[in-house]
Amino acid sequence: MSTEMVTAEQELLSLEDAAEFLCVSKSTMYRLLDQRKLTGMKAGKQWRFRKEDLLAYMQRGPAAQALAKVPMPVLDTELDFLGTELAKAGTEPAACDYPMLEDEAGRITQYLRRLVWLLHTLRGSDIHLNPIWQADGAAVQLVLRVDGALREIRRLPFVMYDALVLEWKRQAELPIEDTHHPHEGRSQFVFGEIMLSHRVATVSTIYGEKVSVRPLPTTIPTLQVLGIDDTPLVALSKRQRGLLIFAGPTGSGKATTMSAFVQEILTHGPRNIMTVVDPVEYIFMHGVTHLNLAQMTPVEGLRAVLYHDPDVVMLGELRDDPELAQQAIWTAETGHLVLTCQHASDPVELLYEMLAMGVKRALFANNLIGVVYQQLAPKLCAQCRIPATPEPDTLEKMRQAARAGGYTLPEDAVFYQQTGCPSCGGRVALHEFILFTPEVRQAFLQCASKEEFTKELRAQGLLSFFAAQVQQAVSGKISLETLQRYMPY
Ligand SMILES: [Zn+2]
């Protein structure tokens, strides 16, 4: 055998190695082969790839073309900018940079590593990459959400845009060529002992694809850690059957609360818990089976789950899917505990919307445990809080709204504001609980409108969301300023 042949043979890569070399998934490799974008050879049933073919693909691939447009000084300036932001946040590039990433493609990866590390250090909840149009042409807004507030940290030059979007899509194994359909995937960055996972979503906008990145939790909090172990949730975790709805606006942390609730269920002993949720936000390492819904609808998933005799079933949104809603109630009726997360800005309205969707009222009422409605608010800092006095007319309005919501504000009630100190920060979950006692169930069966039902709830002593938050403000959990945001009028 000549030396040349040996070299040629050594350079043949298996499908797995080639996928790793190109940083794509195996299914992407098959797609590239199907579309004849990549040349491979078949040895028996095995694919083999020549390194030069892979290199040729990389050089004409969309990522390479996008990268070629970015002037390196621009990329270096932006890397330096993130370096400065990291320093301000109390960490440094050395904590997140990977030394091998020196070439041009590596620098883009380095940029993403610095960005996710910055978000992690600031304990932020999302990154947005928004293509925009401004007076001097296109640009990209780099926006972070920290403690619930959005902040544009940088206006990036548009030459960076394609390379950044493609790098995010590559990291999340999303189809790079398809820029028109929305996509959602999961990325992972390893920093020594720490692995940070993110949900990466793209959507086509009039100026190009927008990318949103949300950190996926690495651990599942307990009710105690969330500071909600003094709520009815602890008692509810002992229920064996029924439907419990976790509701709230987007970003209200309802999925977090639902997962902490499941954590609480698991403290009572092993249970067969199955999730029919896509995407999975919280991955339980033990005790919970997460269905992969890539190839089935939630209704199919729920039907399949019932053959596995679950004690608890976790579901996603029911409201856009009348069939799933009916099935969910049947599952509860037949002796399972069903938990679901619903986007809603008003818990009573949610119940009446489900009726309007065709859910049978009697069956619904008989199986509903209740609605846990939640919003997230900035936590009042106990270190630097001082008393705050509302304007007399504001106080009067607050007093009236609290009374209408079922709570009488004491004459000597004290409100607070924070003055700002290093301990400030963090968020707190605020709730309204509508628990279906026999009386509430009866009211729900009889009240034709949500207004009537709300009146009944107050008559039975259930607090409105606002009234519950007045109580929280008076007990020093949230500031007067936060409370005023929830004023009903
Ligand atoms: Zn403070």
pLDDT digits (tens, 9 = 90+) for 372-397: 999 999 999 999 999 999 999 999 99
Identify the pLDDT of residue 175: 86
Contact indicator for 178, 187 with CB cutoff of 8 Å? no
Mean pLDDT score, 361-370: 97
381 C-alpha vs ligand 1 centroid, how far in Å?
4
96 C-alpha vs ligand 1 centroid, how far in Å?
29
Q: What's the whole-model pTM score?
A: 0.72
Range in 152-166, 177-191, 316-330 the model is least confident about:
177-191
410 C-alpha vs ligand 1 centroid, how far in Å?
26
420 C-alpha vs ligand 1 centroid, how far in Å?
5
Q: What percent of the chain has pLDDT over 70?
A: 98
Query: Which helix (DSSP H) or strand (DSSP E) does residue 458 occupy?
Result: helix 450-459
472 C-alpha vs ligand 1 centroid, how far in Å?
18
Q: At 479, list the tokens.
A: 């500031």
483 C-alpha vs ligand 1 centroid, how far in Å?
17
Q: How far apart are CA 164 and CA 103, in angstroms?
A: 15
97 C-alpha vs ligand 1 centroid, how far in Å?
32
382 C-alpha vs ligand 1 centroid, how far in Å?
7
10 C-alpha vs ligand 1 centroid, how far in Å?
63
Give the 3-state secondary structure of residue 99. coil
Mean pLDDT score, 420-441: 93
Identify the pLDDT of residue 10: 60
386 C-alpha vs ligand 1 centroid, how far in Å?
10
261 C-alpha vs ligand 1 centroid, how far in Å?
29
Concatenate the DSSP letters of all residues of 186-238 into one string: EEEEEETTEEEEEEEEEEEETTEEEEEEEEEPSSPPPTTTTT-TTSTHHHHTT
379 C-alpha vs ligand 1 centroid, how far in Å?
10
114 C-alpha vs ligand 1 centroid, how far in Å?
28
249 C-alpha vs ligand 1 centroid, how far in Å?
27
122 C-alpha vs ligand 1 centroid, how far in Å?
16
418 C-alpha vs ligand 1 centroid, how far in Å?
6
Give the 3-state secondary structure of residue 350. helix
CB atoms within 10 A of CB 180: 8
Count Cβ atoms within 10 A of the Cβ of residue 376 and give its class: 0-12 exposed, 13-18 middle, 19 or more buried.
Answer: buried
| pLDDT tens-digit map of 333-356 | 999 999 999 999 999 999 999 999
| Among 310, 148, 321, residue whose Cα is nearest residue 240 | 310
Range in 11-25, 106-120, 243-257, 261-275 the model is least confident about:
11-25
- Name the maximum alpha-carbon separation found in the chain: 97
Range in 2-6, 21-25, 151-155, 407-411 the model is least confident about:
2-6
387 C-alpha vs ligand 1 centroid, how far in Å?
13
The full set of domains in the chain, from first to last, is 3-60 (1.10.1660), 66-216 (3.30.450.90), 233-485 (3.40.50.300)
| pLDDT tens-digit map of 266-306 | 999 999 999 999 878 787 877 899 998 878 999 999 999 99
Query: Which helix (DSSP H) or strand (DSSP E) does residue 150 occupy?
Result: strand 149-157
154 C-alpha vs ligand 1 centroid, how far in Å?
27
439 C-alpha vs ligand 1 centroid, how far in Å?
43
CA atoms within 13 A on the CB side of 340: 29
52 C-alpha vs ligand 1 centroid, how far in Å?
59
| pLDDT tens-digit map of 403-423 | 999 999 999 999 999 999 988
425 C-alpha vs ligand 1 centroid, how far in Å?
7
* Angle at 286 (CA atoms; ends 431, 216), nearest 5 degrees: 55
- Of the chain, the end-to-end C-alpha distance in Å amounts to 87
456 C-alpha vs ligand 1 centroid, how far in Å?
40
422 C-alpha vs ligand 1 centroid, how far in Å?
6
Only one residue has tokens 């919003």, namely 375
CB pairs under 8 A, 24+ apart, for 33-40?
40/15
Phi and psi at 301, nearest 5°, equal: -60, -45
485 C-alpha vs ligand 1 centroid, how far in Å?
20
Q: What percent of the chain has pLDDT over 90?
A: 66
61 C-alpha vs ligand 1 centroid, how far in Å?
51
| Among 370, 371, 402, 389, residue whose Cα is nearest residue 472 | 402
Q: How far apart are CA 44 and CA 8, in angstroms?
A: 18
| Among 271, 289, 281, residue whose Cα is nearest residue 221 | 281
383 C-alpha vs ligand 1 centroid, how far in Å?
5
CB atoms within 10 A of CB 398: 22
Q: 464 forms bridges with which residues in the sheet?
A: none
Q: How far apart are CA 114 and CA 154, in angstroms?
A: 14
What's the chain's average pLDDT?
90
pLDDT class for 39, splitting at 50, 70, 90? confident
